A and B are shown apart, each in its own frame.
Chain A
Amino acid sequence: MTNKSNNGFNTWQKSFEKETKKNFSDAKSETDEGIDIKPVYTRDDLENFSFVENNSLPGQWPYTRGPKASMYTNRPWTIRQYAGFSTAEESNEFYKKNLESGQKGLSVAFDLPTHRGYDSDDDLVMGDVGKAGVAIDTVEDMKILFNNIPLDQMSVSMTMNGAVLPVLASFIVAGEEQGVDKSLLSGTIQNDILKEFMVRNTYIYPPEPSMKIVADIIEFTSKEMPKFNSISISGYHMQEAGADNVLELAYTLADGMEYVRAAMSKGLDVDDFAPRLSFFFAIGTDFFMEIAKLRAARTLWAKIMKNFGAKNERSLILRTHCQTSGVSLTEKDPYNNIIRTSYEALSAILGGTQSLHTNSFDEAIALPTDESARIARNTQLILQNETGVTKTVDPLAGSYFVENLTEELSKKAWDIITEIEELGGMTKAVKAGIPKLKIEESATKKQAKVDSGSRVVVGVNKYKNPKEPSVDVRVIDNNRVRDDQIKKIQAIKKSRDTKAVEKALTNLTNAAKDETNLLIPCIEAIKLRATVGEVSKALEQVYGRHFAKSLSVSGVYGKHFEGDEEFMKVESKIKEFENLNGRRPRVLVVKMGQDGHDRGAKIVATSFADMGFDVDMGPLFQSPKDVAKDAIENDVHAIGVSTLAAGHKTLVPELMKGLKEIDPKSKIIVFVGGIIPEQDYEFLYENNVSAIFGPGSNIIESAEKVIDLISDNLSKE
């Protein structure tokens, strides 16, 4: 007997309607994914499933309930905190302290120059060395990074995609010189290039050669490094860039399929490498949705791998790392972030993750301090030791709601995956820019919801703290780090066998022209002390450097504000401006240096255009000098610098200088948005920055301020 036909349900429905004064059928709430959440779920909602199997068990097909039979009852998840900053020496100290305090695995964050294949002494990266991760120029740095950390015992995860060849090679050589054979190294290399083109933006070469490099690494590790995960197929960055959970899930699995095909095209059997594929998801604030996502991911991947003809059970099983969402954390009232992160962590655990990173409460301000990192780590230690969540495997199995949500998510994701497959796979979709645009659209909608107040963010658009606490921040002196790195590079270049290095680099360039596995000549070059930058350039000679062309969504933000008073006020100010000045206010939105965080810049650009600004969108990775030229040639009224990777103190003064160099009388005003610790405001104002818009800024309010500032500035003439 089904529930709906039974009397009990009818009675419940009547009571519900009486209490809420709403029809039951109207009492749904729609999620970002477009899923209708009902106020109650019943046994009926467990029926007609095509993905989820109701009576499955953990560690068994379709693995919805977890990759292992015993899960945390046998061994809890791995606490793996992502960290890295400044020099290898300082990061090494930080790692050792963390390991002593209960952290179990390492996860290395490299700085942006390393990610993009530039040495610390390259002019292009002046503002970025050691700022947002640790600077690694040669294998000597890598050896220092793992000083007194035995690589045959410690599992090491490395977030590296663009410069994956020289960095993995350095890791292998560092192990070797520590006396550890590569076959004993355990850990993960991210090596997921497709999502770089979509959202993370630390690519170097164009998509095709990049995919070849991914396949080379899968091939090499599957043969030589049996304990090492060859790739971490990442949806995390998509959600952080604004994707809803369906997009994150679908694109990640579709990426995975593309990597499987790439590896198979090298002649590998699917079971040779599939067991060493791993995944990485974000865990945001939508508590049950996130749990369902992990369960759905495992369910779908098993099906996908079966279709690929996998025979080994381990090939069917999706293992994942998770990180709580950084973008859900706020600059305002930052201690709230501890609470948000705790719930997100619980969600990840109930979803059955294999390892977890929890963010620090100062996420929206700067890299974590020792203190904030300790609280983040303790969030997991408390979950493991005090709450009892490890005692039962997949405790939410059988929940009408969670099972139904798992099925719904699976269905929606599967539809998108099918669509992409019909298009010819993810590489093609990525080249056409479709997934990126979809993610930006989703991000813009989320921003509109927060700015309009229809989504509450505690401490930001409601329940604001009248007395904002001031918090300590980690300060990194990038000039000092850069000088240190340059000295090290110079010393190495002096002592190495230059001829041999040159020959190794030429070999590498030649290897890129045919089908040779590139990791092998890379290891040779790195052994001889070639730098990360030199190795990257040797390949660039053949492959070229990739420049992304950027598409923009339009009308998405404005649509949300139809009839909104504040929005219309800005619109009419702009019309007034146009009548007075003969053109619309024109703003150049830019990203400078190696900072690839483009979510904010893109959202601000599209929203400003919706309100009536003419917005020039600069490409990524511009130098301040190029920005100045652009701004002056287009005679913009203002430049909006979006900066999140802490390069602002170097790059903004350079921009001011650049403007004056071209036009000593330049009247272009500059404002700055993004991650700016309060401590830096004065410095920026002293450098003639007109306004600063930090995380959580309401875009309509920001736009009004910008148009006012531009008008003021013009009236001064």
Chain B
Amino acid sequence: MELVDKIIKGERAAIAKAITLVESSKDTDQQISRELISELIKKPGKSIRVGFSGPPGVGKSTFIESFGSYLVSQNYKLGILAIDPSSQITGGSILGDKTRMVEISKNPNTFIRSTPSRGTLGGISMGTREASIILDAAGYDFIFIETVGVGQSEIVASNLVDIFTLIVGPGSGDELQGIKKGITEYADIFIVNKNDGELKMEASKTAADYKSALSYYKKLDALEKQVLLVSAIEQTGMEDVIKTINQIIDQNKLKGIFDERRADQLEYWIEEEVKNIIASDITKRLTSKGNIPKYSEKVMKNEMSMYEAVETITKDTLKQ
């Protein structure tokens, strides 16, 4: 494929077109993108994928601008996939991430793509995983994935990356009660942002709260969860972040966790994909057979119970 060569050469327009293909809802585009991805995974790059998640407005984009500037100044190549939460249910989206990433977006060693989330689960859009495969093949050292953290989304987002980072704001310590085992398993690093000006005290306190809360959930062989204090606006704490990322990556590689994780993620995505295909297949069958209105009418007329109806429909639908 010509596109593959261009991507591997790092041609900006080709990378962009390829991402459009993997995000496209058109059948023919999806066909091409499947072929494309099968080709690209044969030529893997060496990227480290880092996820940045957190509540709206906590400073994810600002942090990426700051941290990204630091990385490109160290000559790293940086790909950024920003999943923009601002989409409306109807209507299109206003994608404003770039107004918060002014400096790095100018840099020739970055590639920044915003994607409207369209309300999909966890704000991960269709194609984010594939887009990171494309950037990997194109030779980016780091791939950042920015997602809004709400509810279930961390689980999805964390399955896309080698290191998952949760960015929180000063004062968010109160929400710690809500932090269940789940999130501590998925997140490797907790970054308390806005450690500046009047917010400094509060930020330190929040970091301390996180540290003590996390100490309960120590996992056996994994590295201790890290809590870092930064100010995206004042660009402080950036060295700590890269140091911690590198440390975790090195450790994980050494202990085999790095590959294990990628393997687990693969299982996750295969399962998801299979479920998706089955679900959409079943949905198609359900509608084409017209069982639901038929049996619901029977239930309405008290001819059968709802459970009987469910059982009958299920059997009929799964019948080949």
Residues of A within 8 A of B (CB): 547-552, 554-555, 558, 574, 578, 580-584, 605-606, 608-619, 623, 626, 629-630, 632-635, 662-663, 665-666
Given known pairs A617-B98, A617-B99, the reply for A632 and B93 (CB within 8 Å) is no
B94: which A residues are within 8 A, CB to CB? 552, 554, 605-606, 609, 615, 617
Q: In the complex, A550 Cα to B112 Cα: how many Å?
A: 18
In B85-123, the 8 Å CB interface with A consists of: 86, 88, 90-96, 98-100, 102-103, 105-106, 111-114, 116
* Least CB distance, A629 to chain B, in whole angstroms: 7
Q: In the complex, A614 Cα to B24 Cα: how many Å?
A: 14
Q: In the complex, A610 Cα to B114 Cα: how many Å?
A: 18
- Could you say which of B17, B24, B88 has the most chain A C-beta atoms within 10 Å of its C-beta? B88
Given known pairs A630-B98, A634-B114, the reply for A555 and B25 (CB within 8 Å) is no
In the complex, which residue of chain B has the Cβ closest to the Cβ of A585? B92
Determine whether B297 belongs to the interface, using a CB cutoff of 8 Å to chain A.
no
* Least CB distance, B131 to chain A, in whole angstroms: 11
Determine whether B16 belongs to the interface, using a CB cutoff of 8 Å to chain A.
yes
Determine whether the beta carbon of A626 is less than 8 Å from that of B23.
no
Determine whether the beta carbon of B17 is less than 8 Å from that of A635.
yes
Nearest 5 Cβ contacts at the A-B interface: A582-B26, A582-B24, A663-B13, A635-B16, A619-B99
Q: In the complex, A617 Cα to B24 Cα: how many Å?
A: 21
Determine whether the beta carbon of B106 is less than 8 Å from that of A634.
no
* Least CB distance, A123 to chain B, in whole angstroms: 13
Could you list 5 A-B pairs, sorted by A, with CB under 8 Å? A581-B24, A609-B92, A609-B94, A663-B12, A665-B13
Determine whether B62 belongs to the interface, using a CB cutoff of 8 Å to chain A.
yes
Given known pairs A609-B91, A633-B12, the reply for A619 and B17 (CB within 8 Å) is no
Q: In the complex, A635 Cα to B23 Cα: how many Å?
A: 12
Determine whether B296 belongs to the interface, using a CB cutoff of 8 Å to chain A.
no
Determine whether B29 belongs to the interface, using a CB cutoff of 8 Å to chain A.
yes
A549: which B residues are within 8 A, CB to CB? 62, 96, 99-100
* Least CB distance, B6 to chain A, in whole angstroms: 10
Determine whether B226 belongs to the interface, using a CB cutoff of 8 Å to chain A.
no
* Least CB distance, A425 to chain B, in whole angstroms: 13
Q: In the complex, A626 Cα to B92 Cα: how many Å?
A: 24
Determine whether the beta carbon of B95 is less than 8 Å from that of A614.
yes
In the complex, which residue of chain B has the Cβ closest to the Cβ of A590? B98
A578: which B residues are within 8 A, CB to CB? 25
B25: which A residues are within 8 A, CB to CB? 578, 582-583
B317: which A residues are within 8 A, CB to CB? none
Determine whether the beta carbon of A611 is less than 8 Å from that of B92.
yes
Q: Indicate the size class of the contact surface on chain B.
A: 35 or more
Determine whether the beta carbon of B12 is less than 8 Å from that of A614.
no
* Least CB distance, A107 to chain B, in whole angstroms: 32
Determine whether the beta carbon of B98 is less than 8 Å from that of A547.
no
* Least CB distance, B163 to chain A, in whole angstroms: 24
Determine whether the beta carbon of B16 is less than 8 Å from that of A626.
no
- Could you say which of A574, A608, A633, A665 has the most chain B C-beta atoms within 10 Å of its C-beta? A633
Q: In the complex, A610 Cα to B11 Cα: how many Å?
A: 33
Determine whether B244 belongs to the interface, using a CB cutoff of 8 Å to chain A.
no
Contact string, B1-40, partner A, CB cutoff 8 A, digits 1/0? 0000000000111011101100111100100000000000
Partner of B13, one of A547, A555, A619, A666: A666
In the complex, which residue of chain B has the Cβ closest to the Cβ of A662? B12
**19 other contacts beyond A555-B88, A582-B26, with CB at 8 A cut-off?**
A549-B96, A554-B94, A581-B26, A610-B92, A612-B91, A612-B92, A615-B95, A616-B95, A617-B94, A617-B99, A619-B102, A626-B105, A629-B105, A630-B112, A634-B112, A634-B114, A635-B20, A662-B12, A663-B12
In the complex, which residue of chain B has the Cβ closest to the Cβ of A610? B91
* Least CB distance, A354 to chain B, in whole angstroms: 39
Determine whether the beta carbon of A608 is less than 8 Å from that of B92.
yes
Determine whether the beta carbon of A614 is less than 8 Å from that of B92.
yes
Contact string, B279-290, partner A, CB cutoff 8 A, digits 1/0? 000000000000
* Least CB distance, A118 to chain B, in whole angstroms: 17
Determine whether the beta carbon of B16 is less than 8 Å from that of A619.
no
Given known pairs A582-B25, A609-B88, the reply for A626 and B13 (CB within 8 Å) is no
Given known pairs A582-B26, A635-B17, the reply for A558 and B12 (CB within 8 Å) is no
Partner of A632, one of B12, B62, B99: B12
In the complex, which residue of chain A has the Cβ closest to the Cβ of B28? A582
In the complex, which residue of chain A has the Cβ closest to the Cβ of B17? A635
A615: which B residues are within 8 A, CB to CB? 92-95
B29: which A residues are within 8 A, CB to CB? 582
Determine whether the beta carbon of B12 is less than 8 Å from that of A616.
no
- Could you say which of B12, B25, B92, B99 has the most chain A C-beta atoms within 10 Å of its C-beta? B92
Q: In the complex, A29 Cα to B94 Cα: how many Å?
A: 34
B86: which A residues are within 8 A, CB to CB? 552, 554
* Least CB distance, A427 to chain B, in whole angstroms: 12
Q: In the complex, A581 Cα to B24 Cα: how many Å?
A: 8
Q: In the complex, A446 Cα to B20 Cα: how many Å?
A: 36
Q: In the complex, A683 Cα to B40 Cα: how many Å?
A: 44
Q: In the complex, A234 Cα to B95 Cα: how many Å?
A: 31
* Least CB distance, A200 to chain B, in whole angstroms: 17
Given known pairs A549-B99, A629-B105, A633-B113, the reply for A613 and B12 (CB within 8 Å) is no
In the complex, which residue of chain B has the Cβ closest to the Cβ of A623? B106
Q: In the complex, A665 Cα to B3 Cα: how many Å?
A: 14
Q: In the complex, A558 Cα to B26 Cα: how many Å?
A: 27
Determine whether the beta carbon of B93 is less than 8 Å from that of A550.
no
